[in-house]
Structure 1
Amino acid sequence: MEYRRLGTDGPVVSRIAFGNSLTAGNQLADANALACVRAALDAGITTFDTADAYADGRAEELLGRALRGVDRDSVVVCTKVGRGGGPGPGALSAGRIATSLDASLRRLGTGHVDLYQAHLYDDSTPLEETMGAFADAVRAGKVRCVGVSEWAADEIGRAAGLARELGVPLVANQPQYSLLWRVIEAEVIPACTALGIGQMVWSPLAGGVLTGKYRPGQPPPAGSRAVAARGGEVSIRRFDFLDDAVLTAVSRAADLAGRAGLTLPRLALAWALRGEAVATAVIGASAPEQITRNLAALRTPLDPELLHRIDAALAPVVVRDPALTLSRMLRAASLTQTAR
């Protein structure tokens, strides 16, 4: 395992983090969810990501159970607020943050979280109120550092200014980022780099599409995330990753990777971790052996000519529009629905 500091002033994180957003308490039996965390620990993963909204709190509970008995100072526990209890007005209000944080700490079985992240931007709550509540949590010793998830560059900039005034360590942004989804490159990454904020990216394999398991013109494999009772909509279908044009381009990229002696998921994860902006990539797993396979990305040199060919193969379907940061996407969808 390799490790890197998250932002200028954040904790040292493992380059691969383990997340349980769609698995623990939802798609996996509890025993399997616990086994995946143990496999992550055995692999040297120290950074674990969850949220109050995942499986209505069950994901936090299972992570807490899995880490019971582990030296608390040896792991970086990250959770989020703003969607537990349902997104909407007041999702990041001071009252919601205080209540949700105490519930998260209880479910996780810990006295503090190392990184507490605002899950999507809340238009209905003054940003000053949200950041003030975060500052209160830090001063109370319940939170070490704070971050945001899927915020646009201007929103992050305003939050960073308030954090400085309040003396709050705002160190992280958690956006979606992959070979297919690059909306953070134009605005978010430059803004965060200037502010000393690190990227903790999610879905580096595009919800599993970059594993190559989904084929154009064929139904999704049985048991895959795309056909799961919960999870496919948020991780795959919302972003049109199962469109035949996308799957055809991914098949071309997989062939190129294979001719270079690499699997596509290994190459895709190594690609997401390249450069200085991304400190860690959050992966999920439905079986312990998937974690072991993903570690190979840390030992994968990226040939510039191969990357050029991969980029050319994927170019027609890569999404780059900064307006598609998830907060903005959901806001636009809400406004459209209201207009109807």
Structure 2
Amino acid sequence: MNSTSKNKHGRFLPEDFDIAHDLCFTIHDVMLQVIKSGEEGGFFRTKIDLGDGEAQELEEIGDIFEWLEAKSRYEDRAKILATTILPAILSDSLHCIYESLECSRKAKLSITYMLVRKPIQENLYVLESMVLDNLNFANTLASDSLRLRPKNAGGVEGHKNRISKVLEVIGETERLDAGYIAQLRYDKKSEDSFDGICNHAMHLFTEHPAIKTDNLNINFIFSGWEQKWTQWDYLYSRLPYLLFYMHRVVEHIIGAIAPTSPEYLDDISRRISAFVVLWWRDVEEHYKSEELRQFYEKTEKWLNWRCTENGCSLPSLKDIRRMSETGAFPGESLISLKKRNFGYSINSALNKRRANRKKWK
């Protein structure tokens, strides 16, 4: 992981939030690996077939997107945009998330909430558009990109309906709740929402009735340690839920570009799921919503099933801690772990070599 909270200079984060902080960074690092593997393996380069004379036409026009538009090759345009937009929009998201978590560790919570707003409201919205209809996404980006702003979804209810369709596509209708995801990201009227908190963090004064600044107050400026603790409580009880959703969205998109081995995906899912089980134990009772409880229970159920399906016993707390760090099944030997990780390294090296061969052909 890039940034565990322990033993770092400038640390102010209470130990109560260590598991949640590390869970967020684990998901961050898994998504970062998507970019790294995609670049090393050449998966973000798209090959299109050209007919007689088309190479010359393309060279004369000089702009591939103008040429694709003229030739009505919309499927090719969608493929090229998907492999271009995904690493760019994901990289931008991860920069914000990384710095947000680092600022949280340093107790700079107004900056934390400023930075987290863009990836969960805007970047994730674009990724959802790619999941729902990549061809339509490409056409919209080419003809009227302003339609890809979240405000065009039709309010919180529109976001809920949209996210419901995304959850159906990625197979997460049981574990995640569309209405709750929409509320957390966009509902100013709800106390249980990032939208109001992020707006308070960004603006000294807010006038929307639901988040209006009180008289004799300035948003976030007078936060003492009691207020910061509340801000940490909220951040670390909700952000893992949204990052998990983002990861599943990214996983679906990359699956269409460069399918990952089921064994590796299962390994990552075990690690994240084990972290989720540990995280839930530390969430303050006041911050445990029914939607979060459902997320935890379904995740734990899946984790138990994977262990028994693999011929292992149900994981103990010690097993779960080990699994969160290594992906190990209960009772799995160190040699078995090393063999599996070595296999991942070999596959990565082979993908990189194939990409280099294609590059120089």
TM-score when scaled to structure 2? 0.25
Point out the structure with the larger strand share: 1
Whose helix proportion is higher, 1 or 2? 2
Q: TM-score normalised to the size of structure 1?
A: 0.26
Structure with higher Rg: it is: 2
